[in-house]
A and B are shown apart, each in its own frame.
Chain A
Amino acid sequence: MSLSPHTTPSGFLLPSIHSAPPFFTQQPNPATQAIVEEQWIRLLLSYARHRKLFTLRVDDSEDKGGEWDEVLRNERINRRIQSAYLSKLIAKLVEKNVAAYDPPRQTRSVLVYWRLPEEWAETLHQWADSTGQMNTILTFYEITDPPVPSPLSNVPLPLLRTAITILAKTNRAQIIAIPDGEGVRFFPSK
């Protein structure tokens, strides 16, 4: 009965609740379920942050050996989350604005905002500033796949576009159409 935290092979420290079998079952009692969902969301977000995972799909619950495997399954207690339950949790994530359906108009996969779009916007601006790329036109590719790894490496394009849109609202960036697609120019903040 005594539950203890557990460190996964990827170095993530799972909370002790992850070792409780009831954690993987939907609880009919709404009050209990609310607590469980809160723990799940916290767990999913922190794991995504740890592994820098951006996409969570309902199918990940069935996908043995997938990148979410360490949290969606617990081989030690022989439990895994059901896709129906995960789907519900995903809906909860979107409801709490810590994820967005991507692509839109479906509910099977989400972009997980382990940083909020506003935080991403700040990170992006800081990165441009620190790498001295103010007033330079950058392609999206140059941002998401820079020669020197950055916090923004592998950021999905929809998230990047959202962040740039946020910056554009405060006149710190501008989207520019270029022959190969789109580009962005950052301006120093005033």
Chain B
Amino acid sequence: MALRRYTTTIDGTIPAEALLYSDEELIGSQDSVGIYDGPQKSPEHQDGIVYVTSHRLFYVDAKYPETRSFALDLAAITQTESFAGLFMSSPKVTIHISSEISLSTQEHPPADNDLGGFDTWECQVCAYRNPPGLSPAAARVCGLCGVPREAIPTTTPGSSSHTNTRRLSASLPSSGLASPSRPSGGSTPISQEQPDQPDPISCPACTFLNYPSLKRCEMCDTQLPRPSRGRKEMKSAPSSRPASPVQDGDPAFNFIRLSFRKGGDKVFYGYLKRALKSKVWEGRKYATNTQNLSGNSRPTRPQVGISGILNTVESSAQGREDNIKDALQDLEALMVKAKDMVRLAAELNEKLTAASTSQSRSVSPYPGSTSSTFSGTPLSSSTTLVSGSEPEEATFIRSSLSQLGLQLDNTPVTQDMMKDEHKWLDELARELAHILQGSRYDHAKKGMMRERGIIALDEAWGGWNRARGVALIPPSTFLQVLPLLPQYTEPSITQRKFASGFTVLHTPPYSRTAFGTRLSEFLVSNGPKTTMDIAIAEGLAIALVREMIEAGEQDGDFCRDDVGEAAISGGGSGTGVEVRWWPNVFAGYVWDVQVVGD
């Protein structure tokens, strides 16, 4: 019976997607399908869902999915016919199955028995650990380097048929090859050799045991002594004296029919045709074929050799990039939400303030800054301020807002708040000044530059954006704001760029001239100093001090004494002796020797 012979039982309770090999794709399905085994109805398979995938055909029985479901390899199908249906007869699709299952199909073991197919294995060439779950054709070669999988040496030839021995049966001479019996685990073993088979014909020239139906020897093409009914035979494995695979069965019954009780046959037949045409199970050209099969398939190239490795690297990099892009998009969405929340908080705050002022007409201790007073002061004081005049709910909301950090005082200045760009930049400068110098009234709040007179630009930018939290300021805008900064700062903070491009914000004592004068005096009174000494004396970073001194050197304030280079002893380049800085001893030097003689 064709059905029994060529199909393997599957557990239909498992969803079809989970039954697939990892390189297999589900193409289509149709329910309410009955199966004819040959010309007769198969009574056990009368109502079920049929799936067609790139590799196989599944029948999952509706009533007894566990016992009556089966899978059929598409590779076994030789041809298909469609019957549109007539009167009471349902539309049918006839599937002819090759009676001589080719060697490659034999190597497609039933999925539930194939240890190799569902086990990781390590390639002997590149040591790549091939994942389980690939289709038999794909599992035969290493996924990374494309080298065929070696036979597992522990399996002795001729011993009870491990699937792995058959993997290289085409090239490995082995006495057991003549009758590679199927693993017995499947409920429907495909019998290869049956006791009533006629004896093979020995070739008169090469003594190869040919299948009786052959006219010519498979090996040497010599005329065989007893010509019988001919059928084209496939190649058999070269081995000591292997015989051709044996055939059986009546070709008249090597077909099954799918009867579409509720229609859907046209579409399904189309799927089937496409799956058959693309021959994905042969394990090559996935790309073009799968693209034909389904539109959403990814363009996979054969993962073979160095190009395969490169592809893997490329695709993983691509994946990472996609992930990052996704993450950034999420962040952007989050920022939009945060902005909404801040606006909501601001509105709420305004409303509350308006309500409370109209209610009590209480005068704020800071005239002209009502809202900022309420929201800007710490929680406790704001509660005491408003508790008398505001209802309890309002106080609660307000305190919740301030606990969330959504005080109006903290709301960053954004461009959409301002009408024109100048105003915007002005506001930004004011905000930055606040960040840098702290509140003028509240001395507990220290700005970034309260303790320091000079600060690197990146630090200022980073600190500002951290304080803003949302609607971050791009560096370009930051640079636009900087020229406005002196107007809003007291003492005025100005920008200074060193020769190396290093830019700082500084207070007047750190301007070029002030620093030069100060350092000159320091050097005159304390003698020459290294950069390190000066950095310690000034309490600044060494790199920063070096920049400042070199700027002073350009101005002619200082001159250098390269001890490492110019010393007679104890110096020498590379000894790490530092340059010592001198006040400019050359400027205004008068030749103080009257040369006598001559």
Stretch of A30-38, A128-136, A141-149, A172-180 on the interface side = A30-38
- Contact (A16, B597) CB under 8 Å given A22-B559, A22-B560: no
- Contact (A22, B595) CB under 8 Å given A29-B556, A32-B556, A78-B570: no
| Interfacial chain B residues near A21, Cβ < 8 Å | 528, 561, 563, 566, 580, 582
Query: Which single member of B554, B566, B582 contacts A82 (CB below 8 Å)?
Result: B566
CB distance from B132 to the nearest CB of A (A): 69
Q: Is B541 an interface residue (CB 8 A)?
A: no
Q: Is A28 an interface residue (CB 8 A)?
A: yes
Question: Are B595's CB and A46's CB within 8 A?
Answer: yes
Question: Are A49's CB and B597's CB within 8 A?
Answer: yes
Q: Which residue of B lies closest to A151 (CB)?
A: B598
| Interfacial chain B residues near A108, Cβ < 8 Å | none
Query: Which single member of A5, A17, A25, A35 contacts B566 (CB below 8 Å)?
Result: A25
Question: Are B592's CB and A5's CB within 8 A?
Answer: yes
- Contact (A78, B586) CB under 8 Å given A1-B527, A15-B591, A25-B562: no
What is the interface of chain B mostly: helix, strand, loop, or mixed?
loop
Query: Which single member of B524, B580, B586 contacts A39 (CB below 8 Å)?
Result: B586
Q: Is A125 an interface residue (CB 8 A)?
A: no
Q: Which residue of B lies closest to A5 (CB)?
A: B593
Complex Cα distance, B586 from A39, in Å, reads: 9
User: Which residues of chain B from 280 to 300 have any CB-CB distance to chain A below 8 Å in the complex?
Assistant: none
Q: Is A24 an interface residue (CB 8 A)?
A: yes
Q: Is B350 an interface residue (CB 8 A)?
A: no
Q: Is B172 an interface residue (CB 8 A)?
A: no
Q: Which residue of A lies closest to B596 (CB)?
A: A13
Complex Cα distance, B535 from A170, in Å, reads: 66
Query: Interface 1/0s, chain B 532-566, versus A by CB < 8 A?
Result: 00000000000000000010011110011111011
Query: Interface 1/0s, chain B 233-265, versus A by CB < 8 A?
Result: 000000000000000000000000000000000
Query: Which single member of A3, A14, A28, A39 contacts B553 (CB below 8 Å)?
Result: A28
User: Which residues of chain A from 63 to 107 have any CB-CB distance to chain B below 8 Å in the complex?
Assistant: 73, 75, 78-82
| Interfacial chain A residues near B567, Cβ < 8 Å | 78-80
| Interfacial chain B residues near A49, Cβ < 8 Å | 595, 597-598
| Interfacial chain A residues near B555, Cβ < 8 Å | 29
| Interfacial chain B residues near A1, Cβ < 8 Å | 524, 527
Not counting A24-B561, A78-B569, A80-B568, a sample of 15 additional A-B residue pairs whose C-beta atoms are within 8 angstroms of each other reads A15-B593, A20-B582, A21-B563, A21-B566, A22-B582, A25-B579, A28-B554, A29-B555, A32-B556, A32-B559, A39-B589, A50-B595, A50-B598, A73-B568, A79-B567
Please name the 3 residue pairs, one residue from A and one from B, whose CB atoms are nearest each other, closest first: A21-B561, A24-B566, A25-B562
